[in-house]
Amino acid sequence: MLAALVNVTHLVEVSGYPLLFVLVMSESAGVPIPGETALITAAVLASGGKLKIELVIPLAAAAAIVGDNIGYLIGRKGGRWLLERPGRFQRQRRDVLETGEPFFERHGPKAVFFGRFILGLRVWASWLAGATHMRWRSFFFWNALGGICWATAIGLLAYLLGHSAGKAIEAFGIYGLVAVVLAIVSTFFMHRRHRRRSQ
């Protein structure tokens, strides 16, 4: 994990915005590479003046949306065939489809939106949405909303924390940083709700 972080940090620092876009887009399309780490690294570099946060966040959001739509298209065109075809793990693959289809029918928008913040779902949610034939308009809306919220929340948090964000990743991993983000957001909304009730 630490070696991967160091490599991503070096690559993003050297290649800047184009590499950030490619890494986030590729992870969102279903390639298991550190797209979120690239966003955090770019935001930390922006806090040090090496990149601009006003470019990092929209670029990461756009890359997430583009990548997820590529993943959706792949899942729509070939995902079902890959899951149903004979061969190794056929029963497990069919189980994924049998479980995923009704799940996406009932909870598709939530899965697409919140999947952006969860490592496993972030990589595979778009494929599953396409393979289970979730309506594209619904997918696109919730995916775009999730991508924008994810890039803004993670990007701003890493930017505000600066180099301490990088140390947090080293110590606790991405899950730890996401947990911190969710805790801060939850506290903010609970505080607002409490104030409204008090008025």
Indicate whether 67 pLDDT > 90.
Answer: yes
Q: What is the mean pLDDT of residues 162-167?
A: 65
Q: What is the pLDDT of residues 74-108, one digit of tens each?
A: 888 876 666 667 767 667 666 666 666 777 777 77
Indicate whether 33 pLDDT > 90.
Answer: no
Rounded-to-integer distance, Cα 49 and Cα 66, Å: 27
Q: How confident is the model at residue 53 (pLDDT cuts 50, 70, 90)?
A: very high
Q: Provide the pLDDT for residue 2.
A: 39
What DSSP line would sit under 8-33, residue for residue? Answer: HHHHHHHH-HHHHHHHHHHHHHT--S
Of how many residues is the chain composed? 199
Domain boundaries, the chain: 2-198
- Which value, to the nearest 10 degrees, does the dihedral of the CA atoms of residues 183, 164, 172, 178 take? 30
Q: What is the mean pLDDT of residues 38-56?
A: 88
pLDDT mean across residues, the chain: 78
Q: Which two tokens stand for residue 79?
A: 């995902």
Q: DSSP letter at 34?
A: -
Q: How confident is the model at residue 63 (pLDDT cuts 50, 70, 90)?
A: very high
Q: DSSP letter at 116?
A: T
